[in-house]
Structure 1
């Protein structure tokens, strides 16, 4: 489907400690927290981080997996991490992210070249894990 009205709204990542995960995504990945204050005050069930103006990552506590599975009607599907989420960045932000991850001693994979994605082959990409084991890919296109 190539309809420009279709957008990615959010991805749910299962985490042990949503506040700590939010800190990782803010400090290391550079994403802005959403509803963290409300979460820590007990007013929201989970915090999120903003990828762009249209997309967020929900940082859902693993403890909520059974309730979410019941809510979505998908028994045994909740609480399992996705294979990976890919973040597309401009080249300078890509390089800055890789540097920040290394400064925080977050292991990163070797660089890959020309891996296929939503916009065709990416010039460079690499993988890393958040503290909960979720795998993220960072890439940039020409």
Structure 2
């Protein structure tokens, strides 16, 4: 088997998490929410954050939601097109608190600067600039 890429990841959120997801992932980070109409109509148990044309984040509202324990190892890492200064400026303008900034964390694509924020459900989100070269 030869994996090509991740198609989607699924995170559980509180049952009333749609508006918080819209405010954080949609308004603050600028991603589109998809499948909201189907979710609200009861056709699917989740809605999506469209990260790229080929990648989704399923957000699955559940009564059994338990906030992550806050360790740095339970997080979602995204490579974004902008450089670290532009990422930082966008987050500051959107009022998103930056937990930390690392200049050289390693990931699947190599080492590049990243900032870490928390979504409204307690998940850490790493926003990493593209690796040079």
TM-score band (shorter)? 0.7 to 0.9
Greater helix share, 1 or 2?
1
Q: Normalising to structure 1: TM-score of the pair?
A: 0.75
Tell me the distance in 1 between the aligned counterparts of 2:85 and 2:30. Answer: 12
Is 1:83 equivalent to 2:74 in the alignment?
yes
Q: Is the 8 A contact 1:18 1:47 kept in 2?
A: no
Partner of 2:17: 18
Q: For residues 1-142 of structure 1, what are the structure 2 equivalents within 5 Å?
A: 3=2, 5-16=3-14, 17-23=16-22, 24-63=24-63, 65=64, 81=68, 83-92=74-83, 95-122=85-112, 124-140=113-129, 141-142=131-132
Instruction: Name the SS of the counterpart of 2:12 in structure 1.
Output: strand
Question: TM-score normalised to the size of structure 2?
Answer: 0.79
Runs of 4+ in 1 over 6 A off after TM superposition: none
5+ residue gaps, structure 1, are 66-77
Paired residues of 2:12 and 2:61 also in contact (CA < 8 A): yes
Largest Rg, 1 or 2: 1
Aligned residues between the structures: 125
Partner secondary structure for residue 91 of structure 1: coil
Structure 2 unaligned blocks of 5 or more: none
Q: What CA RMSD, in Å, does the superposition of the two structures yield over aligned residues?
A: 2.3
Deviation of the 1:95 alpha carbon: 4.4
Alpha-carbon spacing, 1:45–1:105, altered in 2? closer, same or farther (3 Å) = same
Structure 2: distance between partners of 1:20 and 1:56: 18
